[in-house]
């Protein structure tokens, strides 16, 4: 153990945990605007938390009626093929008709996934939702929240007991997918391994960890924002916070942190940006492992075969696999080792110790979401094939920028302030020249 620790320290000191991500080595997920693994249904703006960085105003709109929700589901049905519907908000668990909403989604053939902070969830409520057809839960828990059920939490590791509570609750009900979202800023970046390592201790209960890189207006200080051709002087759509730091994080930053404790971490699939093809907007890694021991990570062919097989046999891209499937890690590793280099390396590691043959192998997903990035020329680099597309007034929009549509009717555009200054100087010089000519 001492030798292994020393080796990790030596490799880390040489920068081995900072090897560059290479999109062309991974499988580009074939998800698109109209054919996607997930769609995003916002059933309410109301919430039982008031998080500083949230991009939904809980005082606006409120709960949608079942009629409105049925109308939005019809838009998804006619404009976008999906495997899952992420039920979001606000917090959907405080919607008085959430059980009926889950049943509506299930009856239409989608997997209903509830995105929640978990405050309103009890074992009894959970059972009722399962009876209605819920397929899983994604819990948002992190230090950006001021939670009454975790008041003393100052760092992400302090929330692990609360995460464990919900993981245990979902596991006790049985048969449901369980995921956790965590917002990551420059100030909490170094805490990422604490959450990842906790998840590795619970591969039978925690199926996915999603790390979402935070963005806010203060990061756009070099740009002027325009809407409908007019300068937005006082941006009220999104708020600035005191927890973000100064650095705009990229997927590479998070991967470097994960590799501090897991040098073998390697993605298998990704989504690129709408402007920059090399940007990793969604980075997905599939882990083979026991409790707290990683055997390896699936490679690109694993993701390619899984996604295309799903589409061939089910006519939809796969998202949120059931626990039954994720518990078959050993079988998956054996089968995919024929076609996939990552799975083959994991299988060889598995065979090194004969005693490991008696241990159960699990599959886990570790994903990183890198939201909107503004390029040097002001172009907005969004997630190409974004799974979090939602419906508003019968049309499809990126959910993370929906407030712009609600308030302005269009997405805001960015112009470098340097360019504006240059334009003003040209106009000023032109006016001087015109005045001189007029005087002559």
Q: Mind listing the pLDDT tens digit of every residue in the chain (440 residues)?
A: 333 444 444 444 444 456 999 999 999 999 999 999 999 999 999 999 988 778 777 677 899 999 999 999 999 999 999 999 999 999 999 999 999 999 999 999 999 999 999 999 999 999 999 999 999 999 999 998 888 888 888 999 999 999 999 999 999 999 999 999 999 999 999 999 999 999 999 999 999 999 999 988 888 888 998 988 888 876 556 778 877 888 899 999 999 999 999 999 999 999 999 999 999 999 999 999 998 799 999 999 999 999 999 999 999 999 999 999 999 999 999 999 999 999 999 999 999 988 888 889 999 999 999 999 999 999 999 999 999 999 999 999 999 999 889 888 999 999 999 888 765 554 444 343 344 434 54
Q: Give residue 6's pLDDT.
A: 47
Distances (CA, A) of 374 to 222, 382, 404: 10, 9, 16
Q: Give residue 423's pLDDT.
A: 56
Q: Give residue 257's pLDDT.
A: 97
The whole-model pTM stands at: 0.90
Q: Give residue 75's pLDDT.
A: 98
Q: Give residue 333's pLDDT.
A: 95
Q: Which residues contact 151 (CB under 8 A, 6 or more apart)?
A: none
């Amino acid at each position: 153990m001492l030798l292994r620790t020393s080796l990790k320290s030596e490799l880390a000191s040489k920068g081995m945990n900072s090897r560059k991500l290479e999109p062309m080595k991974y499988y580009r997920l074939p998800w698109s605007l109209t054919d996607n693994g997930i769609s995003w249904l916002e059933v309410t703006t109301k919430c039982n938390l008031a998080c500083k960085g949230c991009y939904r105003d809980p005082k606006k709109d409120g709960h949608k009626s079942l009629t409105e929700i049925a109308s939005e589901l019809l838009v998804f049905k006619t404009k976008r093929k999906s495997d899952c519907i992420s039920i979001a908000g606000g917090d959907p668990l405080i919607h008085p008709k959430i059980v009926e909403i889950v049943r509506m989604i299930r009856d239409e053939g989608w997997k209903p996934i509830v995105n929640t902070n978990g405050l309103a969830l009890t074992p009894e409520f959970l059972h009722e939702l399962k009876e209605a057809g819920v397929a899983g839960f994604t819990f948002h828990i992190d230090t950006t929240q001021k939670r009454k059920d975790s008041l003393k939490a100052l760092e992400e590791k302090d929330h692990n007991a609360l995460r464990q509570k919900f993981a245990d609750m979902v596991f006790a009900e049985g048969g449901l997918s369980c995921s956790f979202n965590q917002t990551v800023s420059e100030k909490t970046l170094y805490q990422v391994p604490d959450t990842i390592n906790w998840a590795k201790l619970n591969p039978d209960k925690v199926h996915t960890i999603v790390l979402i890189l935070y963005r806010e207006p203060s990061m756009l200080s070099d740009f002027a924002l325009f809407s409908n051709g007019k300068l937005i002087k006082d941006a009220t759509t999104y708020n600035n916070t005191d927890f973000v730091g100064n650095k705009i994080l990229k997927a590479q930053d998070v991967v470097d942190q994960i590799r501090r404790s897991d040098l073998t971490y390697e993605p298998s699939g990704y989504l690129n940006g709408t402007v920059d093809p090399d940007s990793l907007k969604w980075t997905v890694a599939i882990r083979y492992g026991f409790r707290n021991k990683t055997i390896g990570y699936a490679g690109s062919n694993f993701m390619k075969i899984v996604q295309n097989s799903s589409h061939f046999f089910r006519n939809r891209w796969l998202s949120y696999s059931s626990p039954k499937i994720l518990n078959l890690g050993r079988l998956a590793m054996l089968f995919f080792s024929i076609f996939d280099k990552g799975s083959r390396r994991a299988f060889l590691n598995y065979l090194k110790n004969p005693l490991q043959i008696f241990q159960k192998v699990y599959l886990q997903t570790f994903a990183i979401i890198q939201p909107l990035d503004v390029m040097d020329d002001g172009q907005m680099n969004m997630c190409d094939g974004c799974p979090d597309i939602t419906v508003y007034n019968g049309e499809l929009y990126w959910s993370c920028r929906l407030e712009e549509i609600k308030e302005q009717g269009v997405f805001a555009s960015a112009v470098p302030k340097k360019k504006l200054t240059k334009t003003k100087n040209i106009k000023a010089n032109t006016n001087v020249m015109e005045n001189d000519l007029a005087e002559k």
